[in-house]
Amino acid sequence: MAESVRQPPKKRDWSWRSQAFRGLVYQALALAAVIAIGWWLASNTAANMQARGIKSGFDFLLQPAGFDIGEPLFGYDSSHPYWQAFAVGVGNTLRVAILGIVLATLVGTLLGVGRFSRNALVRGFCYGYVELFRNVPVLVQLLMWYLLVTELLPDSTEPWQIGNVFLSKGGLTYPGPVWSAGFGWVVAGLALGALGVWFYRRWARAQFDATGRERSLFWVPLGIVIAGGVLGWFAGGMPNEWKIPVKGEFAVEGGSALTPEFLAVLLGLVLYTAAFIAEVVRAGIQSVPRGQSEAAQALGLSRSQEMRQVLLPQALRVIIPPMTNQYLNLTKNSSLAVAIGYPDVVSISNTALNQTGRAVECIAIIMAVYLTTSLATSLFMNWYNARAAIKER
């Protein structure tokens, strides 16, 4: 039957009667209109700005920025050019976005799984959490966390102290390693460990296929990576110099620090996004028919095997696409950090905009940064989605 409805070979028909041809013409016209409008907007803006004597162009990026940034990820100084200031802002945005995505996924998954708990208290908590956190605007939550952090914590002059870790309005201060060449070896060791894990996994899979015996896929790889790091540390001459924070006259000095702004942004974004992720995870798990789990048990798979080999791979197909949205939302919501003084790319851009007056350029940079990070996230998630999707052959 299927064979008989085969379509006749396509013939190109360049007449107005051809739907395909008409479609092409319409598309070309629409594209031309979009380009024309874009060109009109751009040239109009440029002409108007020139007529009013407003300087424009991206040349300012090479001039010294002249302002300090509270949390530089790398050695930034006010004499460095604007593009480096922007780089610091982008770094801060990525730092909070990447950490936020990882933590929100963890918290959200726990909450989502918690919705199926046999314990009514856990179930109720997860339900209440989701309803509370996803229904309060994220900006309000950020402000609330920042207010809590700055109001409730003790003054920087009398911080809470546990060992060498201090917590105060000045943030979380902890001993950090002093960076030296030896740490390059540690990084190399960790990379080597990761490579080892890849080989181990291949070997474990081959073993499983050959003998049916399962090897640990968590503890052994973890051990390999740690061992790699430790070996690297020995190879690097065992650098063990630490920056120990001490109580200063006005604030805790030295050591490594997480500022209250960073903590509040991270906390706010993670807890807000986790509520959505919990719902995504719940939907994913509920989408797997009950029969699947029963079949797994009938085959004699253990609880964890059932979860890992049967339920999760099927749930992931439902989870990944909406999860991508949540990751994108988290990244874009991080731009609200400007409200509580976290120096992300929007904050840096605001300052640059005011110093130079290049409004159009600075806004364009912000847009380009978020577009790039969002597209990169989408690209990665689409790749992962394709991997997890049902292989139709």
**Residue numbers of the site for another protein (CB under 8 A)?**
49, 51-55, 66-70, 78-79, 146-147, 150-151, 155-156, 169-170, 248, 250-251, 253, 259-261, 338-341, 343, 347, 350-351, 353-357, 359
What does 81-132 look like in DSSP terms, one character per residue? Answer: BHHHHHHHHHHHHHHHHHHHHHHHHHHHHHHHHHTT-S-HHHHHHHHHHHHH
Nearer residue to another protein within complex by CB, 85 or 204: 85
Question: Whose Cβ is closer to another protein: residue 170's or residue 228's?
Answer: 170
Q: Cβ 150 to another protein, closest distance in Å?
A: 4
How many CB atoms sit inside 10 A of residue 193's CB? 23
Q: Which CB sits closer to another protein, 22 or 55? A: 55
Nearer to another protein, 229 or 260 (CB): 260
Name which of 164 and 355 has its Cβ closer to another protein. Answer: 355
Nearest approach in angstroms of CB 330 to another protein is 20
User: Residue 243 forms beta bridges with which residues?
Assistant: 176
Distance of alpha carbon 371 from the chain centroid: 14
Q: Which CB atom, from 231 or from 359, has the smaller least distance to another protein?
A: 359
Angle at the Cα of 379 from the Cα atoms of 376 and 381, rounded to 5 degrees:
110
Distance in Å, CB of 313 to another protein, minimum: 45
> Sheet containing 165-168: which strands, arranged edge to edge?
160-162, 165-168, 171-174, 256-258
Residues 6+ apart with CB under 8 A from 357: 54, 55
Q: Residue 203: exposed, middle, or buried by beta-carbon count in 10 A (0-12, 13-18, 19+)?
A: exposed
Q: Which is nearer to another protein, 71 or 306 (CB)?
A: 71
Residue 186 burial by CB count (10 A; 0-12/13-18/19+): exposed, middle or buried? buried
Of 246, 269, 270, which Cα lies nearest the Cα of 257? 246
Quick check: 156 and 305 in contact, CB under 8 A?
no
Q: How far is the CB of 351 from another protein (least distance, A)?
A: 5
Sequence-distant (≥ 6) Cβ neighbours of residue 310 within 8 angstroms:
292, 293, 295, 296, 301
CB of 263 to another protein, least distance (A): 12
Q: Closest approach of Cβ 251 to another protein, in Å? A: 6
Helix (H) or strand (E) holding 162: strand 160-162
The CA-based angle 358-96-107, given to 5 degrees, is: 145
Q: CB 55 → another protein: shortest distance, Å?
A: 4
Closer of 95 and 253 to another protein (Cβ): 253
Please state, in angstroms and rounded to a whole number, the distance separating the CA atoms of residues 261 and 344: 10
Nearer to another protein, 324 or 347 (CB): 347
Closest to another protein by CB, 92 or 326: 92
CB nearer another protein, residue 78 or residue 372: 78
The token pair at 253 is 């000095």
Q: What is the signed CA dihedral for 196, 200, 203, 205, rounded to 10 degrees?
A: -140
**Smallest gap, in angstroms, from Cβ of residue 342 to another protein?**
9
Q: Taking the complex as a whole, how short is the minimal distance between the CB of residue 318 and another protein, in angstroms?
A: 39
d(CA 261, CA 137): 18
Distance between start and end Cα atoms, the chain: 21
